[in-house]
Structure 1
Amino acid sequence: MLEAKVENFISRHSFSLKNKKIVVGVSGGPDSLALLHYLLGQREKQNLSLVAAHVDHMFRGEESYQDAMFVKSFCEENGISFEMARINVPQLIADSGKSSQVAAREARYDFFQKMMEQYGFPFLAIGHHGDDQIETMLMRFTRGSTGKARAGMPFQRPFHKGCIFRPFLSITKEEIEGYCQDHNLKPRIDPSNQKSIYSRNRFRLEVLPFLKSENKQVHDHFQRLSEDLHTDEDYLQELTAQAMNKVIIKREKAR
């Protein structure tokens, strides 16, 4: 059951939802809609304050605007505060020369930050899941990333004056889709997710199915590897800081 797996995952990271004030990034797709619905189910029990934040990147004209209206309607029906921005990312790409994915991500997270500051909410919840983690780590391994970059996405990390957390990293896309069906959620589907022009989509459509055919629980193994790598990097950075402090002290004494 998705709820139990998410609760266990959050608890394992010594994180509590109790009394949290959370901005939730919601595109209207299965992952973010399921996340918003899950947090809605926890709202009364955990005394949560929620704001749904949506960005229309204006890539798909009226279709993407309807994604925003879908999220707005869902929020109105469920008594959730809703904020949105329409950002002309194609123009940002033309002006900056950045890739579509980088420009869209920067625009999106800038808006999330503004909403956190506007509401005074220190937490940002994102619907990244276990399949996303596999894709991210494989892409970074392939590019030759080192240090924490190769460790993928952490469950929690600082973000400006607050932090981002990802409660769905322990579950799969398939489980999220099952959750949507069980709760009669009708998410919007972005057709660009099926286009092989994006490297992430190639990993998603070609590599991930092979890995899952070899082991249905491969996402659990990647998540454990991610957490081990983050722990190792934190420890190495701590040792480095201690060694540097000793060098500085010795140099100061030698003066």
Structure 2
Amino acid sequence: MIKFNINTTKNLLAFSGGIDSSALFFLLLNENIPFDIAIVNYNQREQSKDEVAYAKELANKYNKKCFLKEAVLTNNSNFEKEARDIRYDFFDKIIKEYDYDTLITAHQLNDKLEWFMMQLSKGAGLVELIGLEEKTQKDNYVIYRPLLELSKEELQIFLQKNNHKYFIDESNYDEKYKRNYFRKNFVNELIKEYKDGIKNSFKYLKNDIESLNLNHEAIYKHEDLEIFTNHQDENLNIKIIDKSLKRRGILLSNAQRNEIIRQREITISDKINISISNEYIYICPKVINTMDKKFKEICRVLKIPKNIRAYLFEKDIEVKELFI
């Protein structure tokens, strides 16, 4: 049904008990791929208790570790973002503490098309439109999405054919959430009618991106500081910045992208400082620190942007030895 592109032995599966993650659980088992599971209970539905119990049951039956996060959501205006932040903070902590190499998620073809249409409706470029990739490199692990060429319907058929249990989350039908609106009104029917064409289009788009050589790497990296070459192309520069921030868990809005290009030196989400100089793009965490006069003078001479200097000072980076 699927050929897995994975060779790591310390793998963590993001599990929910729904169609996608339940199918992925058994597909991984069938291929003898080692993994443990992690589940978040947001305590929004009575059924979530049964989903947690199912996760524990599977873990016990198949000798897997099961990590559980009990969460309480407080941001009613942006439920999906808060839930995602809680979920990935939880995964990050587990991965760091137990040295996992790969986070496996159950995103599938319907999710990929949902993402595409949501980005299209907001105004997005090529990279953002096909943002869900098979593998995404984070700082200390890889996110692996092996189901992107399979539809939710195909996964459900697999579960039913093999008599595997799964749950249906009724909140997925609530159209107050934008994703559900696109899913119900567009995505499911498009996948049902044009699945093969949609899969091929995503392949062609990926090939186009690779042909455009957009995967530029940092020319200097130290901890959370990245420095890239300024390519003298605003579109390409913003793609580089966007990719760096995605690795840091920040998704840029179209308005933020425009502000980065306009201001050239900016703080995003009160967390990350970005500066675009004539030659370089600098990206690092926001730091507030008192620097001595000698250090500030060295930075001035070397034309290091002001909003980058405090991070260099705090991390004791020898600026004279940079590539500059």
- Report TM bin, short chain: 0.7 to 0.9
Change over 3 Å in CA distance of 1:131–1:233 after alignment to 2: farther
The equivalences for 1:88-167 within 5 A come to 88-89=72-73, 91=74, 93=75, 99-146=78-125, 148-167=127-146
Instruction: Report the more deviating stretch, 216-225 or 183-192.
Output: 216-225
> What is the aligned partner in structure 2 of residue 52 from structure 1?
37
Letter in 1 for 2:37: A
Letter in 2 for 1:100: F
Deviation, 1:226, is 4.5
Residue 208 (structure 1) aligned with residue 187 (structure 2): yes
Paired positions, count: 226
Residue 29 (structure 1) aligned with residue 8 (structure 2): no
Deviation, 1:225, is 4.3
Instruction: Report the more deviating stretch, 139-148 or 124-133.
Output: 139-148
Secondary structure class of the residue paired with 1:84: strand
Larger RCO, structures 1/2 (Cα 8 Å, 6+ apart): 1
Letter in 2 for 1:18: N
Deviation, 1:248, is 4.9
Q: CA RMSD in A?
A: 2.5
Letter in 2 for 1:69: A
Letter in 2 for 1:41: N
Larger Rg over CA atoms:
2
TM-score by length of 2: 0.64
Deviation, 1:215, is 2.0
> What is the aligned partner in structure 2 of residue 73 from structure 1?
57
The equivalences for 1:171-182 within 5 A come to 171-182=150-161
Asked if the contact 1:151–1:225 (Cα under 8 Å) also holds between the matched residues in 2, the reply is no
Q: State the distance in 2 between where 1:119 and 1:107 align.
A: 18
Q: Which has the higher helix share?
A: 1
Structure 1 residue runs of 5 or longer lacking an equivalent are: none
Structure 1 residue ranges (4+ consecutive) displaced by more than 3 angstroms after TM superposition = 240-244
Structure 2 residue runs of 5 or longer lacking an equivalent are: 218-227, 233-277, 281-301, 303-324
> What is the aligned partner in structure 2 of residue 187 from structure 1?
166
- Which whole-Å deviations, capped at 9, do the CAs of 1:176-227 have from their partners, x for residues lacking one? 0011012211101110011111111111111124424542424413431452
Secondary structure class of the residue paired with 1:108: helix
**Sequence identity (%):** 24
Secondary structure class of the residue paired with 1:235: coil
Change over 3 Å in CA distance of 1:161–1:19 after alignment to 2: closer
Letter in 1 for 2:41: D
Residue 84 (structure 1) aligned with residue 68 (structure 2): yes
The equivalences for 1:233-252 within 5 A come to 234-235=213-214, 237=216, 241=229, 243=231, 248=279
TM-score by length of 1: 0.80
Q: State the distance in 2 between where 1:26 and 1:131 align.
A: 18
Q: State the distance in 2 between where 1:227 and 1:22 align.
A: 26
